[in-house]
Structure 1
């Protein structure tokens, strides 16, 4: 079975590649790109999930750091989907062995 989110992940990575000549992003730009609030981006920076550098009173996120964060997030989603599929298949097998209908 094909991962239903693969096409979306591909699109996100393609959009990010189109921005490759941009070396640094502001928090607001990342929030718009990811369709989240600026506070969410600040939380990601503060937690260390998204690497950023301080420039004066604001943050700048390098292109490579944003790409690494997105690729890591996509991989986490894929692992979760695979894990859920395995658990569902195990439940179906167990139900079949026990004679239960699903």
Structure 2
């Protein structure tokens, strides 16, 4: 079981979702992914990615 409190870099999120990092920034801007600022970079909680994917699956199932 992975730790949901883990923070991922934007590049890691992009790789995880198989999208560009610009798409990740757009998802953050549109508040579809939550993020925190750490020094001069953004980090996305693993829990936020899981919630986003679950929402996509729910939308398809509806």
TM-score, normalization by structure 1: 0.55
Is it true that 1:52 corresponds to 2:35 in the alignment? Answer: yes
> Is there any run of 5+ residues in structure 1 with no aligned partner, and where?
1-17, 80-102
Higher gyration radius (CA): 1
CA RMSD of aligned residues (A): 1.4
Q: Which has the higher helix share?
A: 1
TM-score, normalization by structure 2: 0.87
Is it true that 1:21 corresponds to 2:34 in the alignment? Answer: no
> Is there any run of 5+ residues in structure 2 with no aligned partner, and where?
none
Q: Which has the higher strand share?
A: 2
Higher relative contact order (CA 8 A, sep 6+): 2
User: Which secondary structure state, in structure 2, belongs to the residue aligned with residue 50 of structure 1?
Assistant: coil
